[in-house]
Amino acid sequence: MEGIIITGMYINTNHLIISETVKGKPVIGIAKEAFINNGNLEIVTLPSSLLYIGDYAFYNNFNLREITFSSGLKSVEIGAFYKCLRLTSLILLCSLLI
């Protein structure tokens, strides 16, 4: 499937909502280390078009406390949420392959 891979963000926000599409193409992945060491993020909402989250994508996001996974997510790679010490809420609306 052709689509967009999110490689990072260039805004300072604590609530990130990743949209279903970018320029008419579905968002299908979050790249390896895309949001590494981001101390601002607290809440992340992922689109249903998202298929995977890469290695260490949210590594050391020490303020991240809630993430919502949608129905399309198939894979969360190694260390994607490692050192997210305040992460207390995972809302799973998907069928992950572990």
Q: Residue 97: pLDDT above 60?
A: no
**DSSP secondary structure, 17-81, as one string:** E--SEETTEEEEEE-TTTTTT-SS--EEE--TT--EE-TTTTTT-TT--EEEE-TT--EE-TTTT
pLDDT digits (tens, 9 = 90+) for 62-82: 999 999 988 888 899 999 999
For the whole model, what pTM was predicted?
Answer: 0.89
pLDDT given for residue 54 in this prediction:
97
For all residues of the chain together, what is the average pLDDT? 91
pLDDT digits (tens, 9 = 90+) for 2-14: 899 999 988 889 9
pLDDT digits (tens, 9 = 90+) for 28-55: 999 999 999 999 999 999 999 999 999 9
Structural domains for the chain:
1-98 (3.80.10.10)
Percent of the chain residues past pLDDT 90, beyond the cut: 76
